[in-house]
Chain A
Amino acid sequence: MSHAHEAPLAAWSDAGWFGFLRQTSAVAEADIRKLLHDPMELLTRMVQPVLWLAIFGQVFSRTRAIPTGGLRYLDFMTPGVLAQSVLFGAIFYGISLIWERDLGIVHKFLVSPTPRAALVLGRAASSMARSLCQMTLVYLLAFLLGVQLRFGIGAFAGVAAAVMLGSAIFSTFSLIAACIVKSRERFMGIGQVLTMPLFFASNAIYPLSMMPGWLRSIAVVNPLTYQVDALRALMIQGGTSMFGLRIDFAAQLFAFAVLVAIATKLYPKIIT
């Protein structure tokens, strides 16, 4: 009986900015703890970049048909492969929301006083954590293949920032798709349809200057283009940014803000 009439909580510590940040990190923590229990998923992510760099890259390095602005082709495409690996990892992230909805786990989050924006940002944050593992892997692989990498705190921090932002953008995009299609089967279909155009309508493996006009106009509104542009300057010796780093990051931040606003609106609809 000692607990009878106990106040729910003295002061609502879920309120305010710090409360918001704590809730966001709790959402991310749930996902990261799961990953720690079963890290297999991260290992399967290693396969794709290995194929692209060790096979596609090796062959295309010999063609010298692609204007890379003075870079070796393997060096040119390494940032593209990193961005692609992050994109492919993030774009299917939304399926976990559908899966958790089917189980009933999403309901638990939605009946809690956690703001919807914190639910969305928390998922983006866990996707960011995953992307750092992918970044480490691609660095290792690139180093082994003799890619002319830039080393230094500034370079690493910049690459990490671009990678995390890219991962946040595409995982949130994926969350939106999940809230719209609502079923696993349809989501898998959509995911397949989206990834290849996003990848090919970007500067990941060839420069914008090689593209026909219509494709270039798609590429310049594709956030992946800005991610790759920033990565090329930050990651590779002699690499340069076409738009300038400031525009690269501003464009990505803008895309992320818009996507978070849409996802926050759509998130509760996943269960209806």
Chain B
Amino acid sequence: MTSVSSELHPSASKVSAAVQTLELTRKFEDLVAVDHLSFSTASGSIFGLLGPNGAGKSTLIKMLTTLLPPSGGTALVAGFDVVRQPREVRRRIGYVSQMLSADGDLTGYENLLISAKLYGIRRPERTQRIAQALEFMELTQAAGKVVRHYSGGMIRRLEIAQSMLHRPAILFLDEPTVGLDPVAKQAVWHRIQALRGEFDTTIFMTTHDMEEADQLCDVVAFMHSGRLLAQGPPADLKARLGPDASLGDVFIHYAGASIAEEGEWTNVARTRSTARRLE
């Protein structure tokens, strides 16, 4: 009975890891995108997943957010099994994909309204949380504008706002600053840090940006060919290579020579078109 009750109470799972996988595997025909991965991330931390294109980062995030069923192994997210209890997982996570999840044909306010309704947030709480989210993301002025006319940084902030309305325990961000200029990037970083401070949210993000990983993440992990090669605080990983090593050096050390040769055509096309739209 004890194991059952700990599964039913999210507060009990809060003590344990935010994400915990055991031998998690995903195959696409012959290709093993995620290869018997076992790791965990601590609650309340900002966790950065690094690795070259085709390393399996997006596949891993899709499995953790219940979008893709694993071929084998298990994953617990916020204490719930992604295969057996997908709805419980979905209630407790937020997800901002690499692509544009805000609807360009709706206003910022409408995007937030629809998200709130999908998560069953009722009035008057809904009204209050939407107003608060707009203010927090500095979008109050633009709330009535159609999102198509937003800048890239504004769209990203709106997307993060809409994924936070239901106060998820864990927020998954798939390359949150891809295609943004340095100023917009800084604004997004500040909001991510503020979210953790304000709501105690665990952040699980992927990135290609070493500066981003270094500044933002408490713990980073390097992924290559579906496996995690190293995991730890950025300072520790850099120290392992030498006194002057940067996180970029660590990346090259683990990714080796095979860098970026595996990206699929559709993925490349998508990333580029996302970047273009955000400009």
- Could you tell me if A111 and B198 are in contact, using CB atoms closer than 8 angstroms? no
- Could you tell me if B120 and A9 are in contact, using CB atoms closer than 8 angstroms? yes
Which residues in chain A, 228-265, are within 8 Å of chain B measured between CB atoms?
Answer: none
Q: Which residue of A lies closest to B167 (CB)?
A: A8
**Provided the pairs A30-B103, A107-B101 are in contact, do residues A112 and B67 lie with their beta carbons within 8 angstroms?**
no
Which residues in chain A, 83-133, are within 8 Å of chain B measured between CB atoms?
Answer: 100, 102-105, 107-115
Q: Which residue of B lies closest to A111 (CB)?
A: B95
- Could you tell me if B110 and A33 are in contact, using CB atoms closer than 8 angstroms? yes
Q: Mark A197-236, 1 if CB is under 8 A from B, else 0.
A: 0000000000000000000000000000000000000000
Does B259 sit within 8 A of A, measured CB to CB? no
- Could you tell me if B90 and A113 are in contact, using CB atoms closer than 8 angstroms? yes
Q: Mark B92-106, 1 if CB is under 8 A from A, else 0.
A: 111101111111111
- Could you tell me if A8 and B118 are in contact, using CB atoms closer than 8 angstroms? no
- Could you tell me if A8 and B168 are in contact, using CB atoms closer than 8 angstroms? yes
Contact residue among B92, B95, B122, B146 (Cβ-Cβ distance under 8 Å from A107): B95
Q: Which residue of A lies closest to B86 (CB)?
A: A113
Q: Mark A1-30, 1 if CB is under 8 A from B, else 0.
A: 101111111001111000100110111011
Contact residue among B99, B102, B117, B168 (Cβ-Cβ distance under 8 Å from A23): B117
Does A271 sit within 8 A of B, measured CB to CB? yes
- Could you tell me if A22 and B120 are in contact, using CB atoms closer than 8 angstroms? yes
Q: Which residue of B lies closest to A2 (CB)?
A: B198
- Could you tell me if B105 and A9 are in contact, using CB atoms closer than 8 angstroms? no
Does A34 sit within 8 A of B, measured CB to CB? yes
- Could you tell me if A13 and B120 are in contact, using CB atoms closer than 8 angstroms? yes
- Could you tell me if B91 and A268 are in contact, using CB atoms closer than 8 angstroms? no
Q: Which residue of B lies closest to A100 (CB)?
A: B103
Does B272 sit within 8 A of A, measured CB to CB? no
**Provided the pairs A34-B103, A108-B101, A113-B87 are in contact, do residues A1 and B198 lie with their beta carbons within 8 angstroms?**
yes
Q: Number of contact residues on B: which range applies? A: 35 or more
**Provided the pairs A3-B199, A4-B198, A8-B168 are in contact, do residues A108 and B115 lie with their beta carbons within 8 angstroms?**
yes
Does A37 sit within 8 A of B, measured CB to CB? yes
Does B65 sit within 8 A of A, measured CB to CB? yes
- Could you tell me if B166 and A23 are in contact, using CB atoms closer than 8 angstroms? no
Chain B residues within an 8 Å CB radius of A44: none
Does A185 sit within 8 A of B, measured CB to CB? no
Chain B residues within an 8 Å CB radius of A12: 91, 120
Does B66 sit within 8 A of A, measured CB to CB? yes
Instruction: Give the 10 A-B CB pairs with smallest separation, nearest first.
Output: A104-B99, A14-B120, A26-B117, A13-B120, A108-B101, A112-B118, A113-B90, A111-B95, A34-B105, A30-B114
Give me the interface of B with A, judged by CB distance under 8 Å: 10, 62, 65-68, 87, 90-95, 97-106, 110, 114-115, 117-122, 146, 162-163, 166-169, 197-200, 270, 274
The 15 listed contacts between A and B (C-beta, < 8 Å) are: A8-B92, A8-B167, A26-B117, A30-B103, A30-B106, A33-B114, A37-B106, A100-B103, A103-B100, A104-B99, A104-B274, A105-B103, A110-B66, A113-B90, A271-B67
